[in-house]
Amino acid sequence: MKKTFTLGLGVMLVVTLCWSVTVFHLEAEAKAAVAVEGAKFDTSLSLADNLKIYVGKDVIVHLRSGKSFQGYVKSVGNGLVHLEKLSGRDFYDALIRVEDISALEAKFRDMK
């Protein structure tokens, strides 16, 4: 009786392990990186013009001071960019001088 129980438990363990490996393997194969539509940087344009491409999209703006802000570009105008819905800060927006920006990050690829 004890050997049968141990054998049955071992078989169940092996079957469960094989099923788990198969499921995770299929999920990994199904996902692939695809380009985000409209995502591009144009080095022939100014930083402000590149920001205008991302109006309504999520970006990370790095300032010369070392501080970073992540949010959605609401508008870009006379040397300023308005970021809304700041990450990690509910109900906050930021108004940033374009001349203080040292780098811009945007999502170019997504998993599908």
**Cα(90)–Cα(71) distance, rounded to whole angstroms?**
11
- More confident call, 54 vs 3: 54
Using a cut of 0.75, tell me whether the model's pTM lies above it.
no
- More confident call, 90 vs 10: 90
Domain of residue 16: give its range.
2-30
pLDDT at 86 > cutoff 80: yes
Per-residue buried b or exposed e for 58-88, using 16+ beta carbons within 10 Å of the residue's own CB: ebebeeeeeeebbbbbeebeeeebbbeeeee
Q: What is the pLDDT of residue 39?
A: 84
Residues 16 and 56 in one domain: no
**Percentage of the chain lying above the pLDDT 90 cut:** 57
| Domain membership flag for residue 40 | no
Phi, psi dihedrals of residue 47, rounded to the nearest 5°:
-60, -40
Q: What is the pLDDT of residue 3?
A: 58
Where residue 93 falls (left for φ over 0; alpha for ψ -120 to 50; beta otherwise) is beta
Residues 101 and 55 in one domain: yes
Q: What is the pLDDT of residue 48?
A: 94
| Domain membership flag for residue 8 | yes
Taking only the tens place, the pLDDT of each residue in 9-54 is 666 767 676 666 665 655 555 678 887 778 889 999 999 999 999 9
